[in-house]
Amino acid sequence: MTSTVPRRDTTGSADLGALFAPRGIAVVGASRSPGKLGATLARSLAGFAARGGHLALVNGRDATMHPSVRAAAEAGPVDLAMICVPAPACPEVLAEAAAAGAGAAVVCGGGFAEAGGPGVGYQEKLAAVVAETGIRLLGPNTSGFLAPHAGVTASFVPGVAQVRPGRVAVVAASGGVNHALAFLLTEAGHGVSLAVGLGNGVDVSAPDVLDHLAATLDTDPDTGAVALHVESVADGPRLVAAVRRLAARRPVVALVVGRHDVGAFAASHTGALATSWRTTRAALAQAGAVLVGDERELVDAVGALSVTRARPARAAGVGVVTAQAGPGLLLLDDLRGRGARVPELAAATQEALGGLLPPLTFQRNPVDTGRPGPELGRVFRAVAEDPEVDVVAGYALHEPDAVDLVAAAGEGRVDDVPVVLGLGGTGDEVVRARRALLDAGIAVAGDPRGVAAGVGALLTDARVRARRADPVVPRQVPTGVAGAYDEHAAKGLLDRLGIPTAPRRACASRAEAHAALTALTALGGPVAVKILDAAVLHKTEIGGVHLGIADAAGLDEALDRLDAIGARRYLVERMAPAGVDLVLGARRDPVFGPIVLLGLGGTTAEALADVAIRLAPLGPGEAAEMPAELAGHALLDGWRGGPVLDPDALGRVASALGDLLVANPGLAEIEVNPLRLTAGGLVALDAVVIPREASDAQPDQ
């Protein structure tokens, strides 16, 4: 639960310097009893003091320590106060720290909003002190942060001293996950530039830290890639903007929790989830982040991207080199599952490989080297030089007698063609070899799945960067949409957006309906006859739709039935040919604002929640990528001789629908259902426009 106290605009980031690069740190509530938070924290910060930082222990009841932050500040600079006192006392200590000139503070303990009861009040008081004084506050309810380059391991978890300085930044919703990730990164051979757990996030939030990282790039420490862990999102547009800014300069890899029902526990820990897991992932992906499914893949992905990146490419090709066929097959299977392209190598490449490898191995891609020897470096190079190869993925067991893998990988390097190498083995020698590969700019993993995850991240990153070059063309859209729309009027909106509809006529009388029948059947084929009434949202359910009307008798029968359910106006429309039905809609997400959703028609797709989501506005190029994300996308690709979707045509329609929603604050939702894919292209067969309640109708942003 986040506080309701008004927040300062903290889009600027330089003011987190006091927090993450302090000259001096006061530990308030320091203790000499081992096991106490204050004692552990003081011990964790010993490295900071050893590097010449001013570390001041504050405890009014311990004569060997400073009696107050003010006293500590008199002994040396205190930019950061680590507050280790019980929750009720924290607001006062925070105010004292601000008064003593500290620019930032961390409250590690719990017992605030996450605990409910009086804790909510303590948290509100903290927020009030922040608002009054301008001090930056990390927490409460976080295990702190690590800035190993500065020796600041501001955490009560003792093992953090083993987290090395490095190039990966961690921005985690939870202090526990921040630490878990820092340890996993360490195990994988990586170091950390900054690792932050936000806890209750009463002041310093994910966007703040992302902006701080963006502002400190190319300085010391530089950040090569960012791991972002998201539990709930307070301000969707702000998070998206911060990710977009940072992702334009460094890869951001995001893990979003809450795919499944984690209900009450999540609410107790992070506050209510106002938006969906899918929407949050879609928003972050659109902002340029690489999305992953679990914490291991997060480590594989951010680790690889912190070391190397591929050139921008919509569908980069992967060359696979394996010293053992079996692990190579696991790797290939996994890469295929990620949609990676593993193209057959060019004839010239295969010829070169033929000169290097025994004829008994597979050399088309994957390249199976058999037991590797000194030629391995040249094999890597031949594959990397193939015109279809943008990324090299490799796997080998550690066999130093047969080949020096580190040397071979170095020898095989080609500019702009990154390598992700799996090195199977155990023991110190293997750990050293993996570190040497990382130091040489080669991403490394311990198993085929880790290689595939790293390669998958490089491919997504390459695609995101290729997409970024897409021009967005402004579009004229109808404005002033508000109030009730019947189907004819809704389709009129679609017509103005350039979204194809079938020829139709709105009819106020039976005579007009008969005239429409004559005119429309003259175009060929029968018509559909429907009730036309803005108040009726579910026409089919009440018998308001009659299909396949070919003659006057049929029309009269249909009109009789429509009259019987109270129809005053009719829509007569030429029937569209058979095809595959889609559902395309635009609506407002409570956290992220306007979004566009695409799914397949039918209950099966609905039951599977098979839907692609984007924030609006979005360009047609990006919208064109939506169909490929559907699990059932094979249905759109000429399934059983059916029609083939032109993704660009779909992209134009989806982009236009999003633009319409953005341009019309009075519009809550518009849904085209079905949007039919026919041999002749897309046709909107029905459309529903839902106006926003007057009280909600405010412009977005």
Site for a second copy in 627-646 (CB under 8 A): 631-632, 634-635, 639-640
In angstroms, what is the minimal distance from the CB of 186 to a second copy? 5
Contact 461, 390 (CB under 8 A): no
With CB under 8 A as the contact rule, the residue among 6, 52, 355, 427 that binds a second copy is 427
Choice between 225 and 630, CB closer to a second copy? 630
Q: At 326, which helix (H) or strand (E)?
A: helix 325-337
Choice between 294 and 560, CB closer to a second copy? 294
Q: How far apart are CA 270 and CA 273, in angstroms?
A: 8
By CB under 8 A, the count of residues binding a second copy is: 103
In angstroms, what is the minimal distance from the CB of 406 to a second copy? 16
With CB under 8 A as the contact rule, the residue among 115, 217, 241, 414 that binds a second copy is 115
Choice between 498 and 638, CB closer to a second copy? 638
Choice between 368 and 573, CB closer to a second copy? 368
Q: How far apart are CA 684 and CA 490, in angstroms?
A: 11
Choice between 586 and 600, CB closer to a second copy? 600
Contact window for a second copy (CB under 8 A) among 445-453, 473-481, 504-512, 528-536 = 445-453
Write out the DSSP string of 437-503.
HHHTT-EEESSHHHHHHHHHHHHHHHHHHHHHTPPPPP--------S---HHHHHHHHHHHT--B--
Lay out the sheet containing 504-507: strands in order across: 504-507, 570-574, 527-531, 545-549
Q: How far apart are CA 230 and CA 258, in angstroms?
A: 9
Span between the terminal Cα atoms of the chain, in Å? 23
* Amino acid occupying residue 232: S
Q: How far apart are CA 648 and CA 207, in angstroms?
A: 33
Q: Tokens 């429907």 — which residue?
A: 530
With CB under 8 A as the contact rule, the residue among 213, 305, 332, 408 that binds a second copy is 332
In angstroms, what is the minimal distance from the CB of 508 to a second copy? 33
Residue 452 phi, psi (nearest 5):
-60, -40
Choice between 101 and 632, CB closer to a second copy? 632
Distance of CA 647 to the CA centre of its chain: 22
Q: How far apart are CA 439 and CA 118, in angstroms?
A: 51
State which of positions 597-616 bind a second copy (CB under 8 A). 600, 602-605, 607-608
Using alpha carbons, select from 304, 303, 227 the residue that is nearest to residue 458. Answer: 304
Contact partners, residue 463, CB within 8 Å, separation at least 6: 313, 314, 315, 316
Asked whether position 545 contacts a second copy by CB under 8 A, the answer is: no
In angstroms, what is the minimal distance from the CB of 35 to a second copy? 5
Contact window for a second copy (CB under 8 A) among 306-314, 324-332, 384-392, 687-695 = 324-332
- Kindly state the tokens that stand for 1: 């639960």
Using only C-alpha atoms, the chain has a radius of gyration, in whole angstroms, of: 30
Contact 232, 273 (CB under 8 A): yes
In angstroms, what is the minimal distance from the CB of 334 to a second copy? 7
Asked whether position 402 contacts a second copy by CB under 8 A, the answer is: yes
Contact window for a second copy (CB under 8 A) among 94-102, 146-154, 319-327, 536-544 = 319-327
Contact 298, 320 (CB under 8 A): no
Q: How far apart are CA 256 and CA 277, in angstroms?
A: 7
For residue 60, the tally of other CB atoms under 10 A from its CB is: 12
For residue 469, the tally of other CB atoms under 10 A from its CB is: 8
Residue 301 phi, psi (nearest 5):
-70, -50
State which of positions 50-89 bind a second copy (CB under 8 A). none
Choice between 358 and 441, CB closer to a second copy? 358
State which of positions 562-591 bind a second copy (CB under 8 A). 580
State which of positions 23-42 bind a second copy (CB under 8 A). 34-35, 37, 39-40
Asked whether position 279 contacts a second copy by CB under 8 A, the answer is: no
Question: What is the x/- site pattern for a second copy, positions 498-537, by CB under 8 A?
Answer: ----------------------------------------
Choice between 447 and 646, CB closer to a second copy? 447
State which of positions 336-365 bind a second copy (CB under 8 A). 336-337, 358-362, 364
- Kindly state the tokens that stand for 345: 């190598």
Question: What is the x/- site pattern for a second copy, positions 358-397, by CB under 8 A?
Answer: xxxxx-x-x-x-xx-------------------------x
With CB under 8 A as the contact rule, the residue among 135, 150, 173, 477 that binds a second copy is 173
State which of positions 285-304 bind a second copy (CB under 8 A). 294-296
Residue 125 phi, psi (nearest 5):
-65, -40
State which of positions 211-270 bind a second copy (CB under 8 A). 229, 231, 257-262, 264-266, 268-270
State which of positions 640-699 bind a second copy (CB under 8 A). 640
Choice between 295 and 512, CB closer to a second copy? 295
In angstroms, what is the minimal distance from the CB of 607 to a second copy? 4
Residues, the chain: 701
Asked whether position 476 contacts a second copy by CB under 8 A, the answer is: no
Choice between 4 and 265, CB closer to a second copy? 265
With CB under 8 A as the contact rule, the residue among 180, 246, 626, 662 that binds a second copy is 180
- Kindly state the tokens that stand for 17: 């310097």
CA angle, residues 133, 136, 139, in degrees to nearest 5: 120
Asked whether position 116 contacts a second copy by CB under 8 A, the answer is: yes
Contact window for a second copy (CB under 8 A) among 60-68, 215-223, 326-334, 655-663 = 326-334
Q: How far apart are CA 617 and CA 506, in angstroms?
A: 31
